[in-house]
Amino acid sequence: MDKEKKIYLKRELGYFWVTNFLIINIIGAGIFVSPKGVLEYSCMNVGMALCIWATCALIDMTVTLCFAEISITFPLSGAQVYFIKRCYGPLPGFLRLWTSLFTGAGVVASQALLLAEYSIQPFYPSCSVPKVAMKCLALAMLCIVGILNSRGVKEVTWLQTLSMVLKVAILSLISLSGVFMLVRGKKENVARLQNAFDAEFPDASQITEAIFQGFFAFSGGGCFTWVAGELKNPSKTIPRSIFTALPLVTVLYLLINISYMTVLTPREILSSDAVAITWTDKVVPQLTWFIPFAISASLFSNLLTNVLESTRGTYIAGQQGQLPLIFNTLNIHSSPFISVFLNVIMGSVAIVLTSLIELINYLFFVLSIWNVLSMIGLLKLRYQEPNLPRPYKVFTPFIFINMAFSLSLVLIPLIKSPKMHYIYVLLFLLSGLLFYIPLTYFKLKLVCFEKVTCYLQLLFNVCIPDKSDEKI
């Protein structure tokens, strides 16, 4: 190995990369799934549905800006884990890490299953996708993504750029085609958007459900908290990227929904399992086979970036002594290979053992709990440490909006459809105590850990980084 080459997580990611990262994380399968749910819970009121999409965009902006303050104040890789530990102490910090180990693997598994489903669906136009084939392809995709991530961040930058261009191209095709049809002024197209608010208005509970459906398409804006330690000048890069990416995504989403409603009737949208493909059948039938594959290719980058961000929490925990020393190691590409390897293994187990719907429901429930605690932590630090350097400070009402929204994601499932599964999820969260008390609180050292660490270092060619993240 070159003696002059130092191994550590480098701050080499700038504005363009972070903007790509945000766009890729936000634009996933949600925009191809959520329009149906939003319109359904809006009682097929087209004008109300568009207003709900705009509301979801504003909520996502408040959520993203709240996490921007955390990332800029504590510019660390895995900043969310560090932030919880700083606000509430080592035990909550360890439980946040404990849940992130499994929620990260769950997010990766759900993305891999979704990618596999979109990839195989064109071969089964009249029936459901075989579960075995879908899971095998998901496992293969996850292994490929693990290999790419072990090569370091820079190695996957071109894939991110290509995916971002592909996503924006697909969405632009759909949105601009709808605008063109409206400008052309055909009676059947224009009529669908005339008197948009004439249909029945939804009640408060239906509006809430519609907002949840729409927000699913916008989720992912706080992803940069996991890679803040690798960003150039986070205090400038993060806000600029947010105010570039989110307005672009919002405009695209609104135009896409207008395009759907220009071409399809509300009942056609509700009866479709894949609105984008139904739209393509009517407007550009020659591309009916191409669109699912293009969506799959764009979703591949979501899987790639989810593995990237979920491994950073494990790395920072190893650095702070909350996990064995082996997790505080990097390979020659400055990638936390052990964390990537663990994430791929756990994601593979989740793919084999669970279904996509179960994963999504429980992931949103657990992550919403930590989002509430993060918002309380922001207020707590402002009161306890008013002089803490904050290059960026989010507007305080945004914190309360985010807190209320996350709290509703926790309480509504418990009230609307109480299940023992949610109790099991909470018990699982607390099960981290079984590991925290002996290994972290009492600092129990096992000789076998040291031997395993040495063996794994030699086997995977990893070492302790020469230089850690900036000290906070």
Residue 64 has pLDDT above 60, yes or no: yes
Read off the tokens for 187. 């009676």
pLDDT at 115: 82
The most confident of 5-19, 192-206, 213-227, 392-406, by mean pLDDT: 392-406
Could you read off the pLDDT of 140-165 as tens digits, one per residue? 999 998 888 888 776 677 777 777 78
**Residue bearing the bigger pLDDT, 340 or 426:** 340
Residue 66 has pLDDT above 90, yes or no: yes
How far is the CA of 468 from the CAs of 10, 29, 202, 318, 329, in angstroms? 9, 36, 53, 11, 10
Could you read off the pLDDT of 78-91 as tens digits, one per residue? 788 889 989 998 88
The DSSP call for residue 325 is G
Distance CA 109, CA 106 (A): 5
pLDDT at 394: 92
pLDDT at 472: 44
174 falls in which pLDDT band (50, 70, 90)? confident
Distance CA 201, CA 221 (A): 30
Q: Which DSSP string do the residues of 433-464 spell out, in sequence order?
A: HHHIIIIIIS----HHHHHHHHHHHHHHT-B-
pLDDT at 273: 64
pLDDT at 334: 79
3-state secondary structure at position 360: helix
What is the average per-residue pLDDT within 288-296?
73
3-state secondary structure at position 77: strand
Residue 128 CB-density burial (10 A; 0-12 exposed, 13-18 middle, 19+ buried): exposed
Percent of the chain with pLDDT over 90: 14
pLDDT at 446: 67
Residue 12 has pLDDT above 90, yes or no: no
What is the average per-residue pLDDT within 88-100?
86
The most confident of 29-33, 182-186, 261-265, by mean pLDDT: 261-265
Task: Give the predicted TM-score (pTM) of the model.
Answer: 0.84
pLDDT at 274: 67
**Residue bearing the bigger pLDDT, 197 or 404:** 404
467 falls in which pLDDT band (50, 70, 90)? low
CA dihedral (219, 381, 70, 392) in degrees, to 10, reads 110
pLDDT at 320: 74
The residue assigned the tokens 């008390």 is 437
What is the average per-residue pLDDT within 395-410?
89
What is the average per-residue pLDDT within 103-120?
80
358 falls in which pLDDT band (50, 70, 90)? low
The residue assigned the tokens 């919002």 is 250
3 falls in which pLDDT band (50, 70, 90)? very low
Read off the tokens for 47. 């004008």
Question: Which residue type is seen at 445?
Answer: K
pLDDT at 355: 59
Give me the CATH topology for the region 15-460. Amino acid/polyamine transporter I (1.20.1740)
369 falls in which pLDDT band (50, 70, 90)? confident
Residue spans per domain, the chain: 15-460
Angle of CA points 55, 26, 469, to nearest 5°: 120
What is the average per-residue pLDDT within 382-388?
90
Percent of the chain with pLDDT over 70: 88
pLDDT at 221: 80
Query: Which of 23, 308, 313 lies closest to 172, judged by CA?
Result: 23
CB 211 within 8 A of CB 406: no
Residue 336 has pLDDT above 90, yes or no: no
pLDDT at 378: 93
pLDDT at 2: 46
What is the average per-residue pLDDT within 92-121?
81
